Amino acid sequence: MGNEKQTEEKQIREVTVRFAGDSGDGMQLTGTQFSNTTASLGNDLSTLPDYPAEIRAPAGTLYGVSGFQLHFSSSDIYTPGDKPDVLVAMNPAALKKNLPDLKPGAMIIVNTDSFDKKNLALAGFETNPLEDGTLDGFEVYEVPITTLTFNALEDVDLSTKEKARSKNFFALGLMYWLFERPLDTTINWLKEKFKNKPVLIEANEKALRAGYNFGDITERFTTRYKIEPAKLPGGTYRNISGNEATAWGFIAASVKSGLPLFLGSYPITPASEILQYLSKYKNFNVRTFQAEDEIAGITSAIGASFAGNLAITTTSGPGLALKTEAIGLAVMTELPLVIVDVQRGGPSTGLPTKTEQADLLQAIYGRNGEAPVGVVAAATPSDCFHMAIEASRLALEFMSPVILLTDGYLANGSEPWKIPHVDELPEIKVEFYKDAENFKPYARNENLVRPWVVPGTPNMEHRIGGLEKANITGNVSYDPENHHEMVKIRAQKIQNMQKVIPDLEVDGDQEGDLLVLGWGSTYGAIKEGVERARKRGYKVSQAHLKYLNPFPKNTGGVLAKFERILLPEVNMGQLAKILRSEFLHHGIIQFNLVRGLPFRSTEIEEKIIELFGGGNNGQ
């Protein structure tokens, strides 16, 4: 290929790319690297990893396909994109599984080396889709990625098997060329990651460069795409995933409250990463305790709370079920505690690696007795940081358990985050009570909050427990009137959180026909769907609930200002149920898709249009 090749540069606003391959092909890593590089170029982006529950499902099978999607843009975006514009398919199974999701005319880059008889059969292709017309209408690039990787690594001292593992870096390099991304972020990462195995730095860097150069010199690739940086507000940014943001949020809450952080937890997908992250930060006086089960996770945290820590426990739905009784204990003993539920598909083991919002009722109501707790939910990956601080603040200032709901989509998804400075973060006021003279364990302040006296404080020895307490003294009491009173006090105390939480804000007109209301991770899809509908002339407002128990005090007022409320949820209508019973609104329209997947913004857009009676109602 001697002649100088002509390449055209095309400016585009946004693109959605999906990397797909065997779960052993390193697609998550490839996607993460592409995201980090893209983030550092200043594009706005949103990612969605999608991996099988099996760690290494048999190679070449459909259910072993692991994918990573990212959507990046020169303007604000809120979702990982509905339908990919570009698919990198490392094997036939990856092609087969992802083909139905692609945009018409999408670009497909396939690793032809893997399109042999065996892999085609494993993927369920009777004939080779590269030859039989299956891909007609798509822009297909056939690249022998494995062979080219071997060629590039000829002089590297590794076995064939080991060399083959660098093929994802070849694919990554090619994508970097295609979208005009620099290689240095990934090369720096390689140098750090494999600093004790220089041969792997060499191999992966060579594969990466070979992929890039392949794009540069191959005639077949004639167009490169340019996506200008997004116009984000000024500041320093990083890319952050929901689980990482959650972990950091708790460190921040610990710093802001001046209390050491204690996490008692038992590993469970998709929550384990929070425990993994926090176990690193011992120099922040963070104690992580990997318990023998979820019950020990929460009860050790309750012990730590009694002892004066910012105590938290992290889990997913099945674990939350196990923690139920202990949450009741924290309600009764009025101790601060944050319980994080990274929701996944249920019931039972369900869809461990998929997302869902079906634990809302469990979080708000799922305990024996009248056992109210605070419940908050994060809306985006980076919002997990702020909501972890909020959950901690409410728990500590109200001496109550607070449940923070995130989900698999937020946990594993990532987005650029404008990093806040520590002094901009909310203060958390905590004081251990020290006045021995006037001490009554269940005395109450203006918010009905009892004093926190920690063991080690002389002359204030006292006992707490799960039996009903006499108000003020905290002695065990079986008195019927006292019990009724205490039930009301515990409820009112949680209700009092309303005084310190922000109002529900409406984006768009403050009153009107249609409000799209959401909670949790549907935020991005709703926001994008609403904006698209608006562009098409529809008048629609949006509001998003981050505080679910109690609701912001203006919630009823906001809802009353709209005729109809469209409520998309990745469950069968759990928030709808609560809103109907609390606010008696007759115009709540449920929109429920429970597929283990987030909503697509086009689904929201189409629903809005449908509610306006089809295509031509725009003004």
Partner 1 sequence: MANNIEVGEIKYTPKDFASDQDVRWCPGCGDYAILAQVQRTFPKIPGIKRENIVWVSGIGCSSRFPYYMNTYGFHSIHGRAPAIATGIKISRPELQVWVATGDGDLLSIGGNHFIHACRRNVDIKIMLFNNRIYALTKGQYSPTSERGKITKTTPYGSIDYPFNAISLALGANATFVARSIDRDAKHLQSMILRAAQHKGTAFLEIYQNCNIFNDGAFRLLTDKETKEDHVLYLEHGKPMIFGKNKDKGIVLKGLEPVVVDLNDGKHTIDDVLVHDENDASLIRAFILSHLTDHPDFPTPVGVFRQLFQPTYDESLNQQIKDVTEKLGKGDLEKLLFSGNTWTVSDN
List the interface residues with partner 1, window 209-238 (CB under 8 A). Answer: 229, 231-238
Nearer to partner 1, 312 or 364 (CB): 312
Spatial CA neighbour of 568 closest among 612, 527, 534 = 527
Q: In the set 108, 311, 470, 517, which binds partner 1 (CB under 8 A)?
A: 311
Judge contact between 30 and 22, C-beta under 8 A. no
User: With the C-alpha atoms ordered 606, 607, 609, 615, is the resulting torsion angle positive or negative?
Assistant: positive
Spatial CA neighbour of 69 closest among 91, 43, 46, 39 = 46
Check binding of 306 to partner 1 (CB under 8 A).
yes
Q: In the set 23, 299, 353, 477, which binds partner 1 (CB under 8 A)?
A: 299
H or E stretch including 146? Answer: helix 145-152
Q: Least CB distance from residue 164 to partner 1, whole Å?
A: 28
Q: Least CB distance from residue 456 to partner 1, whole Å?
A: 6
List binders of partner 1 among 153-192 (CB under 8 A): 185
Contact region for partner 1 (CB under 8 A) — 111-119, 456-464, 488-496, 519-527? 456-464
Spatial CA neighbour of 361 closest among 579, 574, 596 = 574
**Residue 323 half-sphere exposure, CB side, CA atoms within 13 Å?**
36
Check binding of 455 to partner 1 (CB under 8 A).
yes
Q: In the set 86, 89, 274, 295, which binds partner 1 (CB under 8 A)?
A: 295
Q: Which residues lie below 8 Å from residue 240, measured CB to CB, with a gap of 6+?
A: 248, 381, 382, 385, 414, 415, 416, 417
Helix/strand/coil for 345: strand
Phi, psi angle pair for 457, to nearest 5°: -85, 120
Nearer to partner 1, 159 or 236 (CB): 236
List binders of partner 1 among 366-425 (CB under 8 A): 419-422
List binders of partner 1 among 534-563 (CB under 8 A): none
Q: Least CB distance from residue 359 to partner 1, whole Å?
A: 22
Check binding of 317 to partner 1 (CB under 8 A).
no
Check binding of 304 to partner 1 (CB under 8 A).
yes
Nearer to partner 1, 335 or 497 (CB): 335
List binders of partner 1 among 95-114 (CB under 8 A): none
Contact region for partner 1 (CB under 8 A) — 138-146, 460-468, 502-510, 564-572? 460-468
Check binding of 284 to partner 1 (CB under 8 A).
yes
Residues in the chain: 619
Token pair, residue 398, equals 């109200």
Strands lying side by side in the sheet with 562-569: 506-507, 541-545, 512-519, 562-569, 588-592
Check binding of 124 to partner 1 (CB under 8 A).
no
Nearer to partner 1, 42 or 350 (CB): 42
Check binding of 457 to partner 1 (CB under 8 A).
yes
- Dihedral in degrees, nearest 10, Cα atoms 229, 232, 235, 240: -80
Check binding of 255 to partner 1 (CB under 8 A).
yes
Contact region for partner 1 (CB under 8 A) — 9-17, 278-286, 387-395, 503-511? 278-286
CA distance 219 to 216: 8
Check binding of 292 to partner 1 (CB under 8 A).
yes
Check binding of 301 to partner 1 (CB under 8 A).
yes
Q: In the set 333, 355, 380, 521, which binds partner 1 (CB under 8 A)?
A: 333
CA distance 384 to 243: 7
Q: Least CB distance from residue 263 to partner 1, whole Å?
A: 10
Nearer to partner 1, 23 or 305 (CB): 305
Contact region for partner 1 (CB under 8 A) — 47-55, 117-125, 398-406, 448-456? 448-456
Nearer to partner 1, 23 or 333 (CB): 333
Q: Which ranges of 307-366 does DSSP label H, i.e. alpha helix?
A: 317-333, 360-365
Q: In the set 164, 464, 487, 594, which binds partner 1 (CB under 8 A)?
A: 464
Could you please report the per-residue DSSP string of 536-604?
TT---EEEEESEEESPPTTHHHHHHTEEEEEEEESSSSHHHHHHHHHH--TTEEEEE--SSSPPPHHHH
CA distance 331 to 333: 6
Check binding of 67 to partner 1 (CB under 8 A).
no
Q: Least CB distance from residue 476 to partner 1, whole Å?
A: 7
Question: In Å, what is the CA distance from 72 to each residue of 35, 131, 210, 230, 524?
Answer: 9, 32, 24, 9, 14
Token pair, residue 517, equals 């209301």
Q: Least CB distance from residue 330 to partner 1, whole Å?
A: 10
Q: Least CB distance from residue 438 to partner 1, whole Å?
A: 17
Nearer to partner 1, 232 or 594 (CB): 232
Contact region for partner 1 (CB under 8 A) — 73-81, 453-461, 560-568, 569-577? 453-461
Spatial CA neighbour of 546 closest among 501, 591, 582, 516 = 501
Residue with tokens 């004093």: 451
Contact region for partner 1 (CB under 8 A) — 82-90, 280-288, 491-499, 555-563? 280-288
Q: Which amino acid is at 389?
A: I
Nearer to partner 1, 231 or 561 (CB): 231
Check binding of 615 to partner 1 (CB under 8 A).
no
Neighbours of 213 (CB within 10 A): 15
Count of residues that bind partner 1 according to CB under 8 A: 73
Q: In the set 117, 161, 463, 586, which binds partner 1 (CB under 8 A)?
A: 463
